[in-house]
Amino acid sequence: MDLYCNKGDVKELRLYLNQTQPLFIPVSLFTCESLTSLELGAENNVTLPKYISFPRLKRLKLQKFEFSDECWNDELFSNSTVLEELILDFCIFRMRNFCISIPTLKLLRIRCSEHVIDGLQDCALRINAPSLLTFAYWADVAKEYAMPSFLTLVEADVRFKLGKKGAQISLLLRALAHVKRLTFSDSTLQAICSAYDLSNNLLSFHNVKVLNVSDVLTTDQGLIALLKAVPNLELLVFNEASVQN
Decide if 3 contacts 27 (C-beta within 8 A).
Answer: no
Residues 6+ apart with CB under 8 A from 132: 105, 106, 107, 108, 150, 152, 153
Please give the DSSP secondary-structure letter assigned to residue 8. Answer: T
Please give the DSSP secondary-structure letter assigned to residue 40. Answer: E
* Separation of alpha carbons 121 and 141, rounded Å: 6
Q: Which of 177, 196, 172 is nearest to 120 (CA)?
A: 172
Phi, psi values for residue 72, rounded to 5°: -90, 150
Domain range list for the chain: 12-238
- pLDDT value at position 200? 53
pLDDT, averaged per 10 consecutive residues of the chain (245 residues), comes to: 58 85 76 93 79 94 89 88 96 93 97 84 94 96 93 96 73 92 89 59 86 84 83 90 47
Q: 183: how many CB neighbours lie within 10 A of its CB? A: 19
Decide if 148 contacts 123 (C-beta within 8 A).
Answer: no
- pLDDT value at position 2? 45
- pLDDT value at position 228? 84
